[in-house]
């Protein structure tokens, strides 16, 4: 179980990092396009659009980042958060679907509940 939870934590961190990287690329590409045009109106519009899209991507990345770190630290609440995020990830084909299936498969097992329960000894 320990290996599965570590892998899940790393995958959630990696997926979140990918979203943050996408936010940076969108911000540079879209806002940069407006700047390259030299038109003040285009700069204002593309800057606003880039800001909104980048902000949305970062807001979507934050729960996964928190979840991944908490899974690695074996926080009991991280199991529930990961299951909820796994259900949402089922809609994000193809890689999010795979992550969602893997998350649900790992974390609804009884061993997972015992792994996150700090009062009981774990068998890793």
pLDDT at 117 over 80: no
> What ranges do the domains of the chain cover?
2-116
In the chain, pLDDT over 70 holds for what percent of residues?
A: 94
Band the pLDDT of 113: cuts 50, 70, 90. Answer: confident
- Dihedral sign (CA 124, 15, 81, 92): negative
Q: What is the dihedral of CA 96, 101, 102, 108, to 10 degrees?
A: 130
Q: Is the predicted pLDDT of residue 120 greater than 80, yes or no?
A: no
List, for residues 75-89, the tens digit of each pLDDT value.
Answer: 989 989 999 999 999
> Which has the closest alpha carbon to 14: 56, 67, 59, 76?
67
Residue 76's closest CA among 104, 109, 117, 111? 117
**Pair of tokens at residue 87:** 């259900």
């Amino acid at each position: 179980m320990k290996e599965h939870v570590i892998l899940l934590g790393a995958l959630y961190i990696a997926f979140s990092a990918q979203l943050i990287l996408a936010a940076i690329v969108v911000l540079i590409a879209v806002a940069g396009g407006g700047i390259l045009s030299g038109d003040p109106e285009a700069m204002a519009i593309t800057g606003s659009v880039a800001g909104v899209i980048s902000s949305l991507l970062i807001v979507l990345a934050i729960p996964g980042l928190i979840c991944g770190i908490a899974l690695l630290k074996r926080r009991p609440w991280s199991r529930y958060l990961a299951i909820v995020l796994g259900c949402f990830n089922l809609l994000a084909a193809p890689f999010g679907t795979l992550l969602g299936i893997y998350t649900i498969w790992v974390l609804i097992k009884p061993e997972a509940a015992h792994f996150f329960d700090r009062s009981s000894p774990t068998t890793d």
